[in-house]
Structure 1
Amino acid sequence: MPPDAPVLPARRALAPRYWGAHLLMLVAVLACVLLGRWQLGVWHDHRSDNSAAVTRETPVPLDDVLGKDAAFPASGVGRPVVVQGRWDPGDTVYVADRTQGGRTGFWVVTPVTTASGSAIPVVRGWVTSATDTGVANPRGPASLVGLLQPSEDTGAPDNDTHDDVIPEMSVTDLLPRASYDLYSGYVVATDRALPSGGTQVTGMAGLAPVTVEHLPGADASTALRNLLYALQWWIFGAFAIFMWWRWLQEDVLGRRPSPGPR
């Protein structure tokens, strides 16, 4: 170009002597973003662990948490309870559209009649097909530790009330199928040992274990410091961008603000 031709702002800003400053800004912003995401992940992990802490409590008898005619207590979500009674294989049902390991299948649910005379639905495990003949329904005594869950009553329609498949794990949907009273919740079977040391009869043989879907929310203050650290790092990143932009405008491009009137 001619010697007296004006230098375009973009070309001036991208002159080799400024590359180091641009690179420093990019590294600083990237570091702030990554550190903020790391702290946010720590916050999320701590809250998830806090929610799941209830599942690691010592199991207690079912009726100590949920009476046969009682409404489901908020404190019962995810609680480990001891379920003892007798299996009722004739009332086994399958809950549709349950995802496990990226595949869609069914929960296998068999009620256990307890000494109270009422029955608690037990999610024994997961299968790919409701017609899987390789899974036998348990008979006789039941004795297991399960995680207590509230009934799923979203109102999903049951298009065929005469088959063994239901759209959700709803005690309301199970009532017309049962000849006995039902508890207001259900349990997800686990392979945890009984506190008494007795023999387990979990009904889980041949089935993939199920992970509970409902857990209590974490305390509001759980890992709050990590969330604030994440916000702090992102503010630092925004400040780095601001300082770089101001340096670019004033020192590189010479666009200093005009002084105000005196």
Structure 2
Amino acid sequence: MEGVYRFLLTPRWWGINVFVLLAVPFCVFMGSWQLSRFEARVQDHRAAAEQAASGRHETARPLDGMLPVDKSTSGRRVTASGRYGKQLLVPGREVDGKRGFYVLTLLRTGSGKALPVVRGWLPGAADSAKAPAPPSGEVTVTGALQASETPGDNGVSARSGLPAGQTAAISSASLVNLVPYRLYDAWITLDKADSGMKAVPATAPGGTGLDLKAFQNLGYTGEWFVFAGFVVFMWFRLLRREVESQRDAALGLVTQGTDRETVAGG
């Protein structure tokens, strides 16, 4: 038996064995890492959902004390005071599976900056005639704090060339050329919508949802573990073929150093 497996000490098999000893742990490591990424995204998703649920019942805090917006502050209830200014519409937004538009009004605060406030949602095509005018005078608003949107992410439209008075994304970068105010790099959606509109629910911060990237991590996990199993399978297959070849050569069924060739008449 020892003689049969002596081929394992040849340079060719040394190379095969070293490759297997390096490849299998590497595949297992990469699979485990991808799995940990998926589990982290699941945990972030759960934490974001719990934060959004608890945020609806917590006491609202002053806006300036909750900036900048990050995973720990997104969705938290904040309050701000000021006077409403320019109003814009955000078309192509869905609420409860229905398509419509947001009514976005800039709140000019005492800090000299304007805060984008989503006062509510209306069904149908964006139409300024449908959007109710904002309250006049000094107002205090309360709503969920949200990070600036990125066009192309989470269903946010990246289209340009919209009619005057409309914007595709709610972000300081998108609004800076549309309004004559300095802007907060954040926005809020009111707890209770104004004037018959429907309140827009807060969304989870970016990178915390079970999106395509999360399931890609899960898919890559399976691929790496399959690769590890395939490497082990091929090593055993080569080993078995080599052992059979050595035994056949020892019995004189094949000539040593040639392919496994059956002797004529055998």
TM-score between both structures, scaled by the size of structure 2: 0.53
Gaps of 5+ in 2: 1-44, 210-266
Structure 1 position 45, deviation (Å):
8.4
Tell me whether 1:137 sits opposite 2:133 in the alignment. Answer: yes
Contact 1:135 1:205 in 2 (8 A): no
Equivalent pairs, count? 158
Tell me whether 1:147 sits opposite 2:130 in the alignment. Answer: no
CA distance in 1, matches of 2:128, 2:168: 18
Change over 3 Å in CA distance of 1:189–1:51 after alignment to 2: closer
Contact 2:91 2:100 in 1 (8 A): yes
CA distance in 1, matches of 2:47, 2:75: 17
CA distance in 1, matches of 2:48, 2:199: 24
Q: Secondary structure at the match of 2:49?
A: helix
Partner of 1:208: 198
Percent identical among aligned pairs is: 30
Letter in 1 for 2:102: W
Q: Secondary structure at the match of 2:102?
A: strand
Contact 1:122 1:189 in 2 (8 A): yes
CA distance in 2, matches of 1:74, 1:45: 12
Q: Secondary structure at the match of 1:135?
A: coil
Moved more, 135-144 or 110-119: 135-144
Tell me whether 1:116 sits opposite 2:111 in the alignment. Answer: yes
Contact 1:148 1:187 in 2 (8 A): yes
Structure 1 position 180, deviation (Å):
1.5
Partner of 2:100: 105
CA distance in 1, matches of 2:178, 2:145: 21
Partner of 1:165: 166
Change over 3 Å in CA distance of 1:47–1:110 after alignment to 2: closer
Contact 1:52 1:215 in 2 (8 A): no
2:83 to 76, 83, 86: 86
TM-score between both structures, scaled by the size of structure 1: 0.54
CA distance in 1, matches of 2:46, 2:69: 28
Q: Which has the larger radius of gyration?
A: 2
Partner of 1:180: 181
Contact 2:120 2:199 in 1 (8 A): yes
Change over 3 Å in CA distance of 1:116–1:102 after alignment to 2: same
Contact 1:158 1:166 in 2 (8 A): no
Gaps of 5+ in 1: 1-43, 192-202, 219-262
Q: Secondary structure at the match of 1:165?
A: coil
CA distance in 2, matches of 1:54, 1:116: 25
